[in-house]
Amino acid sequence: MNGIINVLKPPGMTSHDVVSFIRKKLNIKRVGHTGTLDPNAAGVLPICVGKATRVVQYFDDFSKAYRAELTLGYETDTQDKYGEVINRTSAHIVTSDELEEVFNEFRGKIQQIPPMYSALKHKGRKLYELAREGKTVEREPREIELYNISIIKNYDNEKVLFDVECSKGTYIRTLCNDIGRRLGTLGCMTFLVRTKVGDFRIENAYTIEEIEEYVSDGRLDSIMMPLDSALKHYNSIKLNEKYYDILKNGGKVDLNNYPFEYNLEDYIRGTRVYCDDIFVGMGLIQETSEDIILKMDKVFL
């Protein structure tokens, strides 16, 4: 069984818990998730099964979208409501205009320091392991990008529900913390749901209970998406079936006389390769002064 299941992860389960659940239900070892989601958060968690585990690396390019709640007035050591309160303040009264202005300031490319309570590693150890021992280490700021951020509802300038679409590596907990400080007060994330990972959306995701039903009825195939559904952001080329054996074995194809129009720059990151309607895998187009060559990078057959 090979494919991708768009899972709606419930709060209280870790991403690994979801993987273990799928492994047990399908009695298959090759199962992987496509990016950790906080245990206390809910939302979209695409799960790759069988050969689809080989496309996990391509999810790194995907933007993600969240709906989150920021509560002002305090901070915790984990930057969300589940941590220990380490600071409180009620000195600064925030206005709705200030909220709008500061939220807009965070749109675009910004620097963000990853939180101590994260799975990033320092000298071989995960940061959250060090944090639980009461240790803090220096973390280098990283560039992230918020493609869009907008306030959905303002609760008396004390709580703010907002939507954000962002690049990989963005910590929404840290974003809430940073917004609070930029406002001249303190902030903490008190709610989070991931609404989108690339083209995988929450409205098309299946709950754990629904997946259990599909497995029991022997209908899981009906909700399993094909491998190339995770690769739609790459351009594609369709070759004649006579090239099938060459490509299947990771060979090269001369495209000099192949009738398709392309801009090499559009294909430089990778190309979905099809023989007729069969998805073969990901290829790389290389151009020299004399030749245009398609070389298979990863075969998924």
Residues labelled as active-site residues: 38
SS3 240: coil
- Contacts of residues 20-28 at CB distance under 8 Å and 24 or more positions apart, as own/partner, are 21/208, 22/47, 22/49, 22/211, 25/211, 25/212, 25/215, 26/1, 26/215, 26/220, 28/1
Which residue is listed with tokens 């399908």?
26
State the greatest distance between any 2 C-alpha atoms of the chain, in Å, as a whole number. Answer: 73
**172-182 vs 96-105: helix axis angle to the nearest 10?**
130
* Cα gap 159→151, rounded to integer Å: 11
* Cα gap 200→165, rounded to integer Å: 13
- How many residues does the structure list for the chain? 301
- The amino acid at 23: R
